[in-house]
Copies of this chain bind each other. A is one copy, B any other.
C-alpha cells in the first residue's frame, strides 16, 4: 500500500514523497513514524530510494516493476478521451497506412508523450509484383508490391538510349524468377545471380539494380510511424543536447527501434528505464501493446514517456486505444473485403 502510494504520488508530483505527507494520505490512521519504519523496510528491499540522506523517497526501477506487475489498476478511460479517439479514427481512410500513422498521432496527443505504431503483418512479406512504369523520355518509376499489400515506389532517371523493350525484358526477368519469394530471398538473389542476368539487357545495370535494391529494402523494413516526436522535448528532463540527439537518431532508425520494442506479446507490456537494452533510454519507460486486426494479423502500438509517468492512466489509455483501433481496422477491412 505504501509503495503504491509512493509511486502514485511521485509520478503525479515529481517530488520525492516524505513520511508525513504519505501518512496523511493513507486510508487508515497511522503516524508518520510508522510510515518511516515501513519505508526503511521497502528501501531495504530495494523498492524505493532516497535522492539524498534526508530526502523523501522515490521508487527505484525495481519498485516501478513491482508496482506495474502487482499493484497498478489501469484507470478507466475518460469518456472524453474515448470520444477523441473515436472521432479521430472516424474519417474515411484510403490506405491502411493512414490509419496507422494517425494512430500514433492520436496517442501522442492524448498523452503528450511520443507514440509509435506498426501496421499489422500476418506473415513474412513475399514479392507479388514488380513494374517499371515509363513516365517520360527519361524517367522511370519502379513499383514493388508485396502480398501483404505494401507498395514501395521510386522514380529514377535513365539515359534515353534505353528502350521500352529493354525495360520490359527486365521486368519479365524479375517477375519470372522472383515472384512469390520472401523478400529476404529476393535480396539474396539480388546479391548473387540477378545482376549478371540483368546485364544481358542493360549496358549499365547499376542504376536499375540500386533502385530495385532500394525499394526492396524499403519494403522489407518494418515501417513504423512516430507521433509526437516534439513532445520528447517537453517530457525529457535532460538538458543534455547530445542525449536528445541520440534519442531522435534512435527513433529514426527502424532497426534499432525494432530492437527497443522487442517481441510483442498479447498483454500490455511495460519496460522501465534500465530494463531496456538501450542505454540512452534509462530515464524513460515504454508501454507496448499489440492490436489484432481480425485475420489480417497483429500490429503494435507503443508509448514512450518518462520513467516517472502515471502508469495507471497510461496503461488504461493504451488498453482502450488498442481496442478502438482493432475495431476500426476490422471495419476498414470489412469495407474492402466485401
Say whether B136 contacts A133, CB under 8 Å. no
Q: Kindly provide the distance from the CB of A182 to the nearest chain B CB, expressed in whole angstroms.
A: 18
A11: Cβ under 8 A from any B Cβ: no
Q: Which residue of B lies closest to A93 (CB)?
A: B157
Known: A206-B92, A210-B94, A233-B244. A136 touches B153 (CB 8 A): no
Q: Kindly provide the distance from the CB of A304 to the nearest chain B CB, expressed in whole angstroms.
A: 17
Say whether B245 contacts A241, CB under 8 Å. no
User: Quick one: copies of this chain in the complex?
Assistant: 2
Interface 1/0s, chain A 126-137, versus B by CB < 8 A? 001101010110
Say whether A135 contacts B139, CB under 8 Å. no
The B-contacting residues of A in range 217-237, CB under 8 angstroms, are 230, 233-234
Say whether B155 contacts A95, CB under 8 Å. yes
Q: Which residues of B contact A167 (CB under 8 A)?
A: none
Q: Which residue of B lies closest to A249 (CB)?
A: B230
Q: Which residue of B lies closest to A230 (CB)?
A: B245
Among B143, B207, B241, B249, point to the contact of A135 (Cβ < 8 A). Answer: B143
Q: Kindly provide the distance from the CB of A134 to the nearest chain B CB, expressed in whole angstroms.
A: 10
Q: Which residue of B lies closest to A233 (CB)?
A: B241
Q: Which residue of B lies closest to A159 (CB)?
A: B336
Say whether A141 contacts B159, CB under 8 Å. no
